[in-house]
Amino acid sequence: MLEVQGVSTRYGQISMLRNVSVALGEGEIACLLGPNGAGKTTLIRTIVGIVRPVAGSILFRGERIDGLKADQIVKRGIGVVPEGRRIFPKMTVEENLRMGAYADWGTREVESRLEQIFDRFPRLRERRRQIAATMSGGEQAMLAIGRALMGRPKLLLLDEPSLGLSPLLVEQIFEMIQAINRQGTTVFLVEQNARKTLALAHHGYLLQKGEIVGAGTAAELGESDIVRHAYLRA
């Protein structure tokens, strides 16, 4: 589904990602763990074409997408819940959701997807005319996920969707991600919460200072010294 092969990026003169490789099979949940500043968000931004890699290649469903513009990349079936959610603050809930289906704007298809999202998140239906910025953090997280789903993605990228939420909401978000995956969407989940994430993911990667320093099944990662040391100090 997604193959990131030897990708390097830089911000100006500063090298950020170095020779990063990640592979996701169809239907999987893979996770990316790593401390703050490791480059996780940079990898997400690189996959969707906001940042151009200086080396390496990215394949989505067998076709190269590195070098394409962001709008061309997401149109192929990638949905994003960006770091910090990045909902459109002055649009209503409904307008935000419609932005998620921007490529299909104005079609009847959008209306039926909207209904499906509202069925999945009844709270968003109640608030459909509310200005997004005035919603609570949990609601905004739901909105960001709903918006990403509006594009019917084959691959969903989530960059720390649970950040700043209460444990109860975090639980809900993780359950939601699992449900989305069960319905056939491949998921790439960036998180700092290693324990919960490894319980959910099939396999994962560990990123540190721009380099992949560990990879394996969720069980293997959970057992690995680096992860236990850095994240699971129980």
Q: What are the residues binding ligand ADP (CB under 6 A)?
A: 11, 16, 34, 36-42
Residues in the interface with other proteins (CB under 8 A) total 28
Q: Where are the alpha helices (DSSP H) in the chain?
A: 40-47, 70-75, 93-100, 108-120, 122-126, 137-149, 167-182, 194-200, 218-223, 225-230
User: What is the rounded distance in angstroms from the CA atom of residue 219 to the CA atom of residue 222?
Assistant: 5
Choose the contact partner of 220 out of ligand ADP, other proteins, Mg ion, none; CB within 5 to 8 A by kind: none
Choose the binding region for other proteins from 2-10, 47-55, 121-129, 212-220 (rule: CB under 8 A). 47-55
- The least distance separating ligand ADP from the CB of residue 124, rounded to whole angstroms, comes to 27
74 sits near other proteins (criterion: CB under 8 A): yes
Shortest spacing between CB 223 and other proteins, in angstroms: 35
Beta bridge partners of 10: 15
Nearest to 46 by CA among 26, 16, 76, 14: 16
User: 207, 20 in Cβ contact below 8 A?
Assistant: yes
Is residue 163 at the binding interface for other proteins, with CB under 8 A as the rule? no
- Which one, 73 or 190, has the nearer CB to ligand ADP? 190
CB of 211 to ligand ADP, least distance (A): 12
Name which of 40 and 98 has its Cβ closer to ligand ADP. Answer: 40
36 binds, among ligand ADP, Mg ion, other proteins, none (CB under 5 to 8 A by kind): ligand ADP
Q: Between 35 and 67, name the residue whose CB sits nearer to Mg ion.
A: 35
Kindly compute the dihedral angle of the four CA atoms of residues 37, 27, 63, 116, in this order, to the nearest 10 degrees: -90
Nearer to ligand ADP, 39 or 138 (CB): 39
Look at residues 200, 192, 166, 186 and name the one whose alpha carbon lies nearest to residue 34: 192
Minimum distance between the CB of residue 167 and other proteins, rounded to whole angstroms? 27
Residue 52 as a binder of other proteins (CB under 8 A): the answer is no
Give the dihedral sign, CA 73/54/194/61. Answer: positive
Spatial separation of the C-alpha atoms in residues 3 and 62, rounded to whole Å:
8
